[in-house]
Amino acid sequence: VIDATGKHLTAGIIDEHSHLAASAINESGHNSTAEVTMEDVIDPSDINIYRNLAGGVTTIQLLHGSANPIGGRSAILKLKWGASAQDMIFKEAPKFIKFALGENVKQSNRSNANRFPQTRMGVEQVFIDYFGRAKQYEQEKKTNKNFRKDIEMETLVEILNGERYVTSHSYVQSEINMLMKVAESFDFRINTFTHILEGYKVADKMKEHGVGASTFSDWWAYKYEVKDAIPYNAAILYDAGLTVAINSDDSEMSRRLNQEA
């Protein structure tokens, strides 16, 4: 029995974009790492689980980082302080994966950048190449009894068949348009654009595509590609009829998401 006199009761808060409770974030050596999963690196001893629960956050999407265009698979967690990693995994949750666009994936801020892609046109080609390979893989799987199973391709086939959903790190309108067009050319849809700080410029196209938006309340001006961010982004997207969430991407901010929203 809890005496709630003078207190406030709210629904549990869900953080769409979290990196807490993980012992690793990026597998950055390749331009696609769809074969890895964040479920393998859950750290149940992270004190931020306790702090987020104290702030009302009950569920998170533990995302891979933004080092590659096609990142690792997500872990959907019900936060439980003192539980094991396995006990926090939300068994009934749909399957997700992290994609990324922009400066991070083309390694524009790395002095030792040495892998493809190095430009925005290269980023687009990564998606086209890998989904083309995934379609070929699926066809071979149907016709060749001796095909070699490939976990990376299996994951991409799930995306093509609507069995796994894409959350994509994004900022700039040209790349938002690009990824929607690539997805449509392979007959699937992006589920969520996360960060999406120039989403207000293409809200009508996002609505037509059927994608949701997960953005910051007031986090911008930390690198060049967010220079056009405005404080009205979430409101404009919401008024355009999109599903809109406020995400954290930060273990400190996530424990006060109620105030951010």
- Which residues make Cβ contacts (< 8 Å) with residue 14, sequence separation at least 6? 57, 58, 59, 60, 245
Q: Provide the 10 A C-beta neighbour count for residue 223.
A: 13
The answer to whether residues 255 and 57 touch, using CB atoms and an 8 Å cutoff, is yes
Give the integer Cα–Cα distance in Å for 90 and 137.
29
Q: What is the DSSP letter of 113?
A: -
Positions of the chain with pLDDT under 50: none
- What is the C-alpha radius of gyration for the chain, rounded to an integer number of angstroms? 19
Q: What is the DSSP letter of 145?
A: T
Confidence at residue 219, expressed as pLDDT on a 0 to 100 scale:
87
Q: What is the mean pLDDT of the chain?
A: 95
Give the integer Cα–Cα distance in Å for 250 and 261.
15
Specify the 3-state DSSP secondary structure of 1.
Answer: coil
107-155 tens-digit pLDDT: 887 777 788 999 999 999 999 999 999 999 999 999 998 889 999 999 9
Confidence at residue 8, expressed as pLDDT on a 0 to 100 scale:
84
